[in-house]
Amino acid sequence: MIEIKNITKYYGKKKAIDNISLTLTEGIYGLLGPNGAGKSTLINILVTALSQTAGEVLYGGIDIRDKRSDYLSDLGFLPQNPRFYKNYTAEEFLKYMAALKNVGGKIDGKIDELLDFVNLAKEKKNKIGTFSGGMLQRIGVAQALINDPKIVIFDEPTAGLDPKERIRFRNLLSEISNNRTVILATHIVPDVEYIANKVILMNNGEIIKTDTPNELMKSIDGNVWELIVSVDEIEKYITMYDISNAYREGDIYKLRIVSSEQPHEKAVSLSPILEDVFLYYCGKQ
Amino acid sequence: MKLFIFELKKLFRRRFLLIMLALLLCLNVFNIWQNYSLYFHNRNAEMNIARREMYEHIEGRLTSEKVQWIKDYNEKMTAIVNGGAAYDNDEFFTGYAFGDMNISNEWLDEVTRIYNYNSEIQRLKTETAEYKKFAAAHGSVYFQNVSDKIEKTYGERKIDSVYNYSAFEPYFSYSFSSFLIIIIMLLAFSPLFAGEYETGMQLCFMSSVNGRKATGFAKIGAMTVFTFIVCVLFSLADFITFCLCAGLDGFSAPIFAIAGFAYTPLTCSIASFIVLLFFVKLLGFLTLGLIYSFFSSVFHKSYSVFVFGLLATFGLMLVSAYSKGILDTINTVNPINLIIGYKMFSSFDVNIMNIFDLPFWKWSITIVFCLVFALLIFLTVIILNNKNARRHIK
What is the 8-class DSSP label of residue B167? G
Query: How sure is the predictor about B232, in pLDDT bands with cuts at 50, 70 and 90?
Result: very high
pLDDT for B390 equals 45
Residue B379 pLDDT more than 50? yes
Complex ipTM tops 0.85? no
pLDDT at residue A278 in the model: 85
A84 touching chain B per CB within 8 A: yes
Evaluate if residue B133 carries a pLDDT over 80: yes
> How close B344 gets to chain A, by Cα (Å)?
43
- Cross-strand bridge partners of residue B352: B361
In sequence order, the 6+-apart residues with CB closer than 8 A to the CB of A141 are A78, A118, A154, A157, A169, A172, A176
CA–CA separation, B194 and B216 (whole Å): 12
The pLDDT value recorded for residue B394 is 44
Distance CA B92, CA B103 (A): 11
Contact by Cβ (8 Å): B211, B201: no
Exposure pattern of B333-371 as b/e (b: 16+ CB <10 Å)?
bbbbbbbbbbebbbebeebbbeeeeebbbbbebbbebbe
- Span A99-124, mean pLDDT? 87
Q: How far is B390 from chain A (nearest CA, A)?
A: 5
**C-alpha span between B1 and B221 (Å, rounded):** 10
Cβ distance A82 to B199 less than 8 Å, yes or no, reads yes
Euclidean distance between the first and the last CA atom of chain A, given in angstroms as a whole number: 34
Give contacts of B203 with chain A, Cβ < 8 Å.
44, 47, 49, 77, 79, 82
Report the gap between the CA of A40 and the closest CA in chain B (Å): 8
**Contact between B204 and A50 using a beta-carbon 8 Å cutoff:** no
Contact residues, chain B to chain A, C-beta under 8 Å? 2-3, 6, 9-10, 13-14, 198-211, 215, 390-391, 393-394
- Per-residue model confidence as pLDDT tens digits over A119-148: 888 888 999 999 988 888 889 989 998 988
Query: B201, A82: Cβ pair inside 8 Å?
Result: yes
Nearest to B209 by CA among A172, A147, A280, A200: A147
Instruction: Dump pLDDT digits (tens) for B267-285.
Output: 889 999 999 999 999 999 9
For residue B34, what pLDDT band results from cuts at 50, 70 and 90? Answer: confident
**A2-213 topology per CATH:** Rossmann fold (3.40.50)
Residue B16 has what pLDDT? Answer: 92
Query: Where is mean pLDDT largest: A200-214, B105-119, B162-176, B228-242?
Result: B228-242
User: Which residue among A48, A83, A88 places its CB closest to the CB of B207?
Assistant: A48
Mean pLDDT across chain A: 86
Chain B, nearest residue to A81 by Cα:
B200
Residues of chain A contacting residue B206, judged by C-beta atoms under 8 Å apart:
47-49
Contact B204 A99 (CB under 8 A): no
Q: Is B262 helix (H, G, I), strand (E, B) or coil?
A: coil
Instruction: Please classify residue A117 by burial: count the beta carbons closer than 10 Å to its beta carbon, then call 0-12 exposed, 13-18 middle and 19+ buried.
Output: middle
Q: Does A73 touch chain B (CB under 8 A)?
A: yes
- Closest partner CB to B207 (pick from A41, A72, A87): A72
| CB-facing half-sphere around the CA of B256: CA atoms within 13 A | 21
Q: What is the pLDDT of residue A51?
A: 87
At residue B150, what is the residue type?
I
Give the best residue of B4, B201, B203 to mutate against chain A (max A CB count within 10 A). Answer: B203
**pLDDT computed for residue B29 by the predictor:** 94
Is the minimum CB–CB distance between A102 and chain B shorter than 8 Å? yes
- The verdict on a CB contact (< 8 Å) between A87 and B206 is no
Q: What would the mean pLDDT of B112-117 be, rounded to a whole number?
A: 87
Which of the pair, B180 or B58, is modelled with greater confidence?
B180
Under an 8 A CB cutoff, do B390 and A49 touch?
yes
pLDDT per residue over A54-81, tens digit each?
999 999 889 988 888 899 999 999 988 8
Indicate if the pLDDT at residue B1 is higher than 50.
Answer: yes
B335 or B326, which is more confident: B335
The DSSP bridge pattern shows strands A224-230 and A198-203 to be unpaired
The shortest CB-CB distance from B204 to any of A77, A95, A99 is to A77
Neighbours of B293 (CB within 10 A): 28
Of B200, B209, B391, the CB nearest to A80: B200
- Which residue in B19, B201, B208 has the most chain A C-beta atoms within 10 A of its own C-beta, making it the best mutation to test that interface? B208
Show Cβ contacts of residue B133 under 8 Å, excluding neighbours closer than 6 positions.
Answer: none
Determine, for residues A77 and B207 on separate chains, whether the beta-carbon distance falls below 8 Å.
yes
Interchain contact A145–B (C-beta under 8 A): no
- Does the pLDDT at position B63 exceed 80? yes
Q: Are A267 and A185 in contact (CB under 8 A)?
A: no
Contacts of A95 in chain B (CB under 8 A): 2, 6
User: Residues B315-329: what's their mean pLDDT?
Assistant: 79
Per-residue pLDDT, averaged over B333-339, amounts to: 86
State residue B27's pLDDT score: 96
Residues of B in contact with A11 (CB under 8 A): 394
Letter for the amino acid at B351? N
User: CA A243, A247, A252, A258: dihedral to nearest 10 degrees?
Assistant: -20
Q: Give B210's contacts in chain A (Cβ within 8 Å).
A: 99-102
Q: Which of A77, A84, A101 sits opposite B210 (nearest CB)?
A: A101
Is the minimum CB–CB distance between A77 and chain B shorter than 8 Å?
Answer: yes
Per-residue pLDDT at B33 exceeds 70: yes
Tens-place pLDDT, residues B367-377: 888 899 899 99
State whether residue A117 sits within 8 Å of chain B by CB: no
Which residue on chain A is closest to B218 by alpha carbon? A100
Query: In a 10 Å sphere around its CB, with 0-12 CB exposed, 13-18 middle and 19+ buried, how is residue A236 labelled?
Result: exposed
Q: What is the mean pLDDT of chain B?
A: 86
What is the rounded CA–CA span in Å between residue B10 and residue B191?
Answer: 11
Beta bridge partners of A258: A224, A242
Shortest Cα–Cα distance, A283 to chain B (Å):
24
| Distance of alpha carbon B216 from alpha carbon B214, whole angstroms | 5
* Predicted pLDDT at B362: 78
* pLDDT average, residue stretch B2-21: 92
Best of A43, A70, A100 to disrupt the B interface (most B CBs within 10 Å) is: A100
